[in-house]
Every structure is written in C-alpha cells, then in structure tokens.
Structure 1
C-alpha cells in the first residue's frame, strides 16, 4: 500500500503519457477550497464505471500449505496484558508441508521451492529470502533476527511465488513477553516528550546502567530510540562500537502473569506511592531491555534478577561504555576507586572538591558521580556503605558562613538524576540541603565525559 500525505504546500503531477489512478475497494475523492479543475484537453472528460484489473488466473502450482509445528505464546502487544498471542520463536525449527495443489502434484517433488517474504522495518521495504530447501515437506529454522516482530509470509511454489501458496505467520519479538505498545509508549516518553529521567533502575543495582542510558537518551535521543527498539525487537543492537547481545536469561523474562499480575518473583520491581497507597510497580520494560541487556552482555553471570553483586557497574565498565557505546572521546575518572573518606578535613578541602566539580561542568563535561546513596537521601547513616552512581545536573552551591564556635551557616545544594526522578521536579534529589560534613562523608569521585 502506498500513501501520499501533504501537510501545507502543493503537489504537481505532469505526465507526457497516460496516467491512471486506481482505488481498490474504496473511494477516490478530489476536493479543493477554491477550484477543482479536470481538463481533458481535446477530448474532454470521460466518466464511466470503475472496473478492477483482472486477476491472473492460476492454472497450476501449489494451492495451500500448512504448518505442522505448534506455535508458542507471547504478548498480545495491545496493552491488555494478554499473553496468548501465538507466534514463531527465534531459533526454533518449524515444519511446513504442501496441503493441496491447484491441479496435479508435480512428478518431481524437488520442483517445489520455498521462500520467506516480510516487510523490513529499517529499510521500509519488502524483502524475500529464497530458501535452499525443496520438496513438499520442509523444516525451516527461524534464525534471522530481522524477521522478529514481523508477520512472515511462508510461500511454496513451483513457478510463481506471487500467485501460489502463502501462509502468513507472526514471529514474536525477541522479548516476546514484553508488550510492544507499552515499550513504544515508554520510549516516546523518554525521547519525544523529553523525559529521559524516567529511566529507572527499580529494585536492581543497575544504577550505572541507568546513568549511561539517561545520558544516551538525553544527549542522543534519536539514536537511543533506534537502539532501544532494535534491541527489543531483534535481541541485538549496535551503536558506535558496542553491540548488546543478551542471553536467553534476559530475553525470556516474563514481567507479568495473566490478568496483568506482577510476576514479582521473576522480574524487578519497586515500591511507589499511588493514590495514598504504597504499591509494587514493575521496572519499566524498556529500561529492563536496555539496562539488563547491556549488563548481561558484559557479565553473563548477571541474569536479570536479584543478583545484586553481579549487577554492580564497576568504574572500568562505566568508562568503557562512555567511550565505545556513547562515543565520547574525552573520558576520565577521579576519586571513584577510593571510597575511604578522611576523618579530618578543612573548609579548604571542601572548597577545593566543590570547585573542581564545578570547573568540569564549566568546561562542558558531563559528570557521573560515585556517591554513597546517603548523600541524597533524607536519612544519613554512617553504619553502611551503599555505593551509587548519579548524574550531576547543576553546579554545587555551598552557602558557608564561619562562626567562632562553628559555622553559622553550612548548606550544600545541587541537582542530580537518579531513580527515575526529574532532577528539576519538586520531588527531586537532593531531598534537602546538606552540610559539608555530610557531603565529604558520602562523596567519592566522578567520571567526566565530553
């Protein structure tokens, strides 16, 4: 099907020969706000009943084929939470056979050829894949990622594959239990609605991945959109010099049970306040696809569940992704390897640390900070060390007034992205201004990229 859409402007069609416009099973309407002119030249205009073009009569060949291998379930992709959509699964072998012929069966069954036809999304055109198998009964392994998330036309023919037998079968997205419409909505929110901060690590230790993909979606939104959609559909995505290839542990995760019940024993979730009640909310689907998929690619021991230690994003991996995935040329770190804090420090030490951070921002660097999560929480405990990555989104402001027996005022404030929260919103982190002592005890260092 072809479509011409013009919003504003005009269209001019000039032809030296005959031009035919045919509308099958519909209407052709011509209207204009000022004039609607049909000029037939010397012979004027001719009006007559429309006759559809004659279809080519098929006199021989394969008439019908059937699938012998049962299909597998997956998401219905319609936001209903349905999980009973039947389709083929990547990597699985399916058997097909000829069910009937237009007239007589060929004497030599090897005259029967097979072909797959599908619409290629990235190139926006139909593609055909001739198969090496022949005969009236064949087995086809669905190992082409590009067919995922598409209807596949399985065709058997003797002379003309366009007019002989065709069987259309759905092939699931690689993340077959994830709803495609929900995925698309989440990507739209992050890119088209300019809310990359919605990216949420939920109940995992993927804070580093959250920072990487937040910067990705914010700074290169269209590339992020393409990468995320491709990874969801095919299970493989490449950007710059990094390819994400999650294992079956990630690809086969099932976020929900029937009737949209959260599959909390199998999928990451977190608590949220909704309508005055605290409820369990699943990790956003597209964030799981990108973040868990990327972490699993680097560390196969991380299987997308509650493996807290395996999910941790160590500094070398963070700097590596900043270079080979995000494509930054100037990447370095400072202080992230030394979480042991000095017990005694001066106001000059605080001032030097803050001035160094603010200087990097003024030079155009983007900063990913390694902190103890107590730095941005309401409570500060000194009994544990909860290392956490955040993206700094403002200079650090230190309002300090010294006094004789201590500071008259000691307030530090700044904005960061973390945990799916708008750094500029009213629920932002830092939750409240902190003291210099609080800052020094919980700040480790940074990775800077440009």
Structure 2
C-alpha cells in the first residue's frame, strides 16, 4: 500500500467531508461531519496521521421483549406475567459491549432452551438480526421457563432472557390440579378415587360418568390425560384427541363469578378442565363453554355419551339401550333392573339414564306435551347390590354420581318405574 493522504476542503481547525485515500492500494475511508483531533481546539490534519476508528462490538449485553406479556399463574401458584401459546412476541437486542452498535445487525444470532419432563430442548433459530419474532407454537414449552439467547459468537457468554410460558389453562393452580388428580387415582379407598369426580352445578353428568369410568378403569391414562390438558390444552388417549373447539375456555378463571359453584363451593378444577374440554369438543349448534347457568347447551344425550365410551374410552363392546320416550308410564320395569344387574355381573360398566326424581324416591309423571328440556335427565353409574322387597314393593341397588361415595339406594318400585330411561353398557 502507498502513502495515506488526507484531503479536506478549506482545512482549518475543523474540516468537513474528510477523506483518506490510499495510493496504489484499494482502501478508501471517509467521514461525514466535523472531524477533530487532539482535543477540542483541533488542528490541521497532518499527513500520515489519520484518526483511529472505533472498535466494532462483538457481544450482546441485553435483550428485551417488546410485546406485552399476559398475566397468569406460575408453577407455584403465584401471579406472573408470561408468554402464551399461539402468540408471537418480538425480542430485541438493545445493549452491546462498549455501548457501541454493531456495524451489521444481521450478524446477531438467536437461540433458545427450555426443559420439561422429557428433558432439555436446545435449538438455534434460523433468523438473525437485532429483532426477532418468536411464535410460541410448541405445546411442549407450556408450563416451562423459556430462555432466549442473542449473540455474535458465544451463546452462553452473551445475552439471555428467561420468560415463563403459561399453562394453557393459565388461571388454574398446578398445585390444586395435582392434588385433585392424585386423589382421583387412589385405589381401594372409600373416600378417595374416581368417586371424587364432581360435575358441581353443571349439566355435565354425562361427561362425569365418562371420566369416572376413565379414572376407575385406567387411572394412569386418566392421570396423564388430565395433566396434559392442564398444561398443553389437549391430550391423547389411543387414537382419540381431547381438544376443545372454542379456545375461549382456556381463559376461564376459577375466581370469576361465572365459574360454576354448588352451594358456594367452586367446581373442582381438574373436573372443570376435563369435562368442559370434552363437552366443548362435542358442541354442535349450541356453544357450551362451561359457564354457570349454561344448562341447555351442556346437556349430554345418549347419542353423545355412547360414542365417547367407544371412541374415547375404547371399550370394544358398547350398546345403547336408552329410550327417552320410555316415560311417562307406570308400567313395572323390574325386568329392566334385573337385566341391568345381570349385565353388570357379566363384567359390563353400566351407565343408567334416569330422571333425578328417582334419587329422591319420588315418582314422576309427564304429559306428552311437556317441554323435554324440563325433564331432569341424569346419568348415574350402576354399582351392583340389586335386591327387591316384594312385601314393601321396594327395590335397592348401589350407584355413583356427583362426587359422592358409592351409595345404596332403596326406593319404591314405582319411583324406579317412572324415572328410568334405560342404560348403556360398555366393556
């Protein structure tokens, strides 16, 4: 390279539009604005002494998130802002080593890391630059801390930012959900187990008997599906996928006034998640979203329950023997109770469709013109112990429903005859 020559117009104490040219070489440097050398007083630029250039930074020092975060509960149950599944967030590298902006932002690389029950996921993004949009589109990261890196060459030696990624049901405490699930899979305890599944003040008795049988016959699968629903908002059992049609149910807050309660006691959290997810998935022309007071839109008819026993719970032998036109009649249906008991002894799970008046030992009579929505359809699980007292004209059998222990029901035969709409058997 040849000599360096400094050129400027009207060289005085300060000069504009300075250029440095290398003769017999390929280097040309330029600067716009005022150039000063050796202090504020300045002096003419001398041949062979160009000012030193700034050193380009090679480290990112700080990352921020420009997109607002959402409130929710963290793993400990405390309120915490965090990222949500399905939302894109803009991350930006804002501070650099020496407080100097890099010459080329395109050289900033990005990566991320999180850890769940399956281990550590650690990847680089394909995109580069000062800003990057990150779409939370991986269900596996829900309920985890997500660490995002921005760096030039050393990922762990430069900037990182960790943000919580909410559970899909972000207002449902993991501690409460865990306790409820664990209590529902305890075997051989008359106060714990599947009997705790509770529809509360909702019309979800059909969904309740589905999850009762799920927890009773396959507790490990029930537990996994329930945990997955809380964390990821969807779950799989065999070929069946549990996933709501309407994402609005993810926004339910158990502390809200619209959350179902019975006698002032809120519905158990995991039962709401499980039952409302499944019922919302089955929505047709009415949109049930699990709010208190949604009685008609949440009804569970036999043509909904029977397919779930087959397709969801994967019972091979399912037969629907219900008939909602069976009543009102006072004809003896003792034969039906004997049939139910025989099927139960043969190993079938029996879901009985009744009018709730049966549980109060009260006969029911409805005129044909009555509104069918006023019929108090209710699903219960038959649990054996059938007997009949001809002298008193009563019958007895054990049943389960509504989060209670299995009970022995003794009623007048007429209370059974006028309140039974048949049964579904499954095994």
**How is 1:171-210 mapped onto 2 (pairs within 5 angstroms)?**
171-192=165-186, 194-210=192-208
Residues 1:254 and 2:253 aligned together: yes
CA pair 120-342 structure 1, distance change in 2 beyond 3 A: same
Residues 1:441 and 2:418 aligned together: yes
Q: CA deviation at 1:249?
A: 2.0
Contact 2:58 2:102 in 1 (8 A): no
Residues 1:410 and 2:393 aligned together: yes
Aligned position for 1:392: 382
Separation (CA, whole Å) in 2 of partners of 1:175 and 1:441? 42
- Over residues 155-204 of structure 1, what are the superposed CA-to-partner deviations in whole Å (9 max), with x where a residue is unaligned? 11222323332111001111111111111111111114652111111111
3-state secondary structure, aligned to 2:418: helix
- Over residues 104-135 of structure 1, what are the superposed CA-to-partner deviations in whole Å (9 max), with x where a residue is unaligned? 654332221222211132x2x10024323210
Of 100, 103, 106, the match for 1:107 = 103
**How is 1:333-372 mapped onto 2 (pairs within 5 angstroms)?**
333-345=320-332, 349-350=333-334, 352-372=335-355
Contact 1:240 1:324 in 2 (8 A): no
3-state secondary structure, aligned to 2:68: coil
Contact 2:199 2:208 in 1 (8 A): yes
Separation (CA, whole Å) in 2 of partners of 1:207 and 1:185? 22
Aligned position for 2:126: 132
Separation (CA, whole Å) in 2 of partners of 1:160 and 1:198? 53
Q: CA deviation at 1:95?
A: 1.5
Aligned position for 1:97: 92
Q: Give the TM-score taking structure 1 as reference length.
A: 0.74
Q: CA deviation at 1:102?
A: 3.9
Separation (CA, whole Å) in 2 of partners of 1:141 and 1:308? 37
Of 127, 143, 148, the match for 1:154 = 148
Separation (CA, whole Å) in 1 of partners of 2:96 and 2:181? 47
Unpaired stretches in structure 2, ≥5 consecutive residues: 1-56, 367-373
Contact 1:93 1:142 in 2 (8 A): yes
Between Structure 1 and Structure 2, how many residues are aligned?
A: 355
Which is greater in Rg? Answer: 2
Separation (CA, whole Å) in 1 of partners of 2:396 and 2:101? 81
Separation (CA, whole Å) in 2 of partners of 1:391 and 1:204? 18
**How is 1:240-319 mapped onto 2 (pairs within 5 angstroms)?**
240-246=238-244, 247-256=246-255, 263-264=256-257, 266-271=258-263, 280-299=264-283, 301-305=287-291, 306-319=293-306
Q: Give the TM-score taking structure 2 as reference length.
A: 0.78
3-state secondary structure, aligned to 1:162: helix
